[in-house]
Amino acid sequence: MSILKIHAREIFDSRGNPTVEVDLYTKKGLFRAAVPSGASTGIYEALELRDNDKTRYMGKGVKRAVKYINDFLAPALCNQVSQKQLTISIKLLHLHWLAR
C-alpha cells in the first residue's frame, strides 16, 4: 500500500508546548501521529527542530519542522510502500544527508 499524501501541522501537546502532528494518507485511509518531546531527552534521541523565534511560544514553535516535512520529506516519501519500513528508513537517512 503506497503513501498517497503526507501533511504536517503545528499543534500543542498535553503540556501546552508546540509539537508536530502528521497525517499520512493511503488507499486504506488516514493515519495520524503526533510527536511531543519528552520531559527529559537523552543523547541518543532525535534532535528537535524548533523555530527559535522568541516572539512565538518562547522560541519553541515548530513551523520550520512542519515546512521541512511538507516541502522536503513528504514529496520524497509519496508513492513509497508504507509496509517497507527499512526502505523508508534508508530513504529518510539519505534525505537527511542531502539536507545538510
- pLDDT, tens digit (0-9, with 9 covering 90-100), for 72-87: 999 999 999 999 999 9
pLDDT band at 48 (very low <50, low <70, confident <90, very high): confident
Q: Is the pLDDT of residue 95 over 80?
A: yes
Mean pLDDT computed over 7-30: 97
What is the domain extent for residue 31?
5-36+51-99
Average pLDDT, the chain: 93
Cα separation, 4 vs 52, whole angstroms: 32
Residue 42 belongs to a domain? no
User: Is 46 inside any structural domain?
Assistant: no
Residues 10 and 33: beta-carbon distance below 8 Å: no
Distance (Å, whole) CA 64 – CA 54: 14
- The total of structural domains in the chain comes to 1
Tell me the percentage of the chain whose pLDDT exceeds 70.
Answer: 98
CATH code for position 57: 3.30.390.10
